[in-house]
């Protein structure tokens, strides 16, 4: 009996969460009998409570039941201009509604994504907006959904249809970009950048192929190349591409860094960047996700993108709606792309 009293005295809600393999928020939801907790998860929590002889502090439970004014945002890379704009859009909406933004970064690591989820849950956030991470285990994301926190996925492509998603139409963006180049007279168009395991890249290449097919142009696998995110890698890749395949007159650039590096890569190949693909043997560059630097390059870079700030705004609005109505049917809100024509294509 003394041992039981000692355990009961010292057991904390974090101990229950750890033993049950769930978040603190999930334990809190089970204690209050609220939230969308599966019977199996609730049973694990109750078993952990019984094992540890945990006695909840009623004041703490009442405090946790109040609406938090914190919202978590998990980004891959806070230095990426695209995500900076997404953050600005989220912050604009939340500020107007009296919420504070709690920002974390997970990179491309499933482990860091899980750590971010756990950290935000422990901080008692009212909801989470997150970017998907390649290779994240289903259990990692299921833990997020089991927490009963309102969740919205934003900014990059995501395969689940049971989670609210706000993001760009990558397929349409690539179709519009490729069609624009074809209508400018290009018949030999390459795609450079991204990684083969990127869903965003796969969607864009799908749109690129669809436009080639529509105009009766062949798809050349050797003209679709991966490269690292750095401008140096992009410059080297595009230079090699143009040396090996001099017929190429236009390049779709997967990211702003690829487009910026492409300026140097084209020059290194002995050609120049521009719209004239007949007389001067210029190479057109067209990138995805516009950045401010694009207007300052020589020549200014043409981009197609969906407004990242609007993606952030819509993600925040959807999260606020879900916080008020947890049983809303998940939706996919796709932001229409826009072509910003400049001198590079």
2-64 CATH: 1.10.260.40
Label residue 80 by pLDDT band (50, 70, 90).
confident
- Give mean pLDDT, residues 153-181: 89
pLDDT computed for residue 145 by the predictor: 67
Q: Residue 297, exposed/middle/buried by CB under 10 A (0-12, 13-18, 19+)?
A: middle
Instruction: Write down the pLDDT at residue 65.
Output: 45
Domain limits, CATH 1.10.260.40, in the chain: 2-64
Which of 34 and 120 is assigned the larger pLDDT?
120
pLDDT score for 124: 84
CATH for 69-168+308-336? Answer: 3.40.50.2300
The pairing of strands 302-305 and 338-340 is antiparallel
pLDDT at 8: 39
Position with higher pLDDT, 48 vs 146 = 48
- Mean of the per-residue pLDDT values for the chain? 87
Say whether pLDDT at 32 is over 80. no
Q: Can you tell me the mean pLDDT for 239-247?
A: 97
Residue 253 has pLDDT above 70, yes or no: yes
Residue 189 pLDDT > 50: yes
- Predicted TM-score (pTM) of the model is 0.76
Query: 170-305 has which fold?
Result: Rossmann fold (3.40.50)
Residues of the chain with CATH 3.40.50.2300: 69-168+308-336, 170-305
Question: How many angstroms separate the CA atoms of 274 and 271, rounded?
Answer: 10
């Amino acid at each position: 009996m003394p041992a039981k009293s000692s355990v009961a005295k010292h057991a904390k809600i974090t101990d229950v969460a750890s033993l049950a393999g769930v978040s603190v928020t999930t334990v809190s939801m089970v204690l209050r009998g609220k939230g969308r907790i599966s019977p199996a998860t609730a049973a694990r929590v109750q078993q952990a409570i019984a094992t540890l002889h945990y006695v909840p502090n009623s004041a703490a439970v009442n405090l946790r039941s109040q609406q938090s004014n914190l919202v978590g945002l998990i980004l891959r890379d806070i230095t990426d201009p695209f995500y900076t704009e997404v953050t600005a859009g989220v912050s604009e909406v939340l500020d107007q509604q009296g919420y504070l933004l709690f920002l974390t970064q997970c990179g491309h690591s499933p482990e860091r994504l899980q750590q971010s989820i756990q950290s935000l849950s422990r901080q008692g956030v009212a909801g989470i907006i997150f970017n998907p991470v390649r290779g994240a285990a289903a259990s990692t994301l299921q833990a997020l959904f089991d927490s009963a926190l309102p969740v919205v996925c934003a900014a990059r492509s995501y395969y689940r249809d049971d989670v609210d998603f706000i993001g760009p139409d990558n397929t349409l963006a690539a179709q519009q970009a490729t069609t624009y180049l074809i209508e400018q007279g290009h018949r030999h168009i390459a795609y450079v950048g991204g990684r083969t395991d990127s869903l965003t890249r796969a969607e864009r290449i799908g749109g690129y192929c669809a436009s080639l097919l529509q105009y009766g142009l062949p798809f050349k696998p050797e003209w679709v190349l991966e490269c690292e995110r750095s401008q140096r890698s992009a410059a080297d890749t595009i230079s090699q591409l143009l040396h090996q395949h001099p017929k190429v007159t236009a390049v779709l650039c997967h990211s702003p860094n690829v487009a910026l590096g492409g300026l140097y890569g084209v020059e290194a190949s002995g050609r120049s960047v521009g719209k004239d693909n007949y007389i001067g043997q210029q190479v057109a560059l067209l990138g995805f996700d516009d950045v401010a630097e694009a207007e300052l390059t020589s020549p200014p870079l043409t981009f197609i993108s969906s407004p990242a700030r609007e993606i952030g705004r819509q993600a925040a609005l959807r999260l606020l709606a879900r916080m008020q109505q947890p049983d809303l049917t998940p939706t996919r809100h796709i932001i229409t792309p826009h072509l910003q024509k400049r001198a590079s294509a």
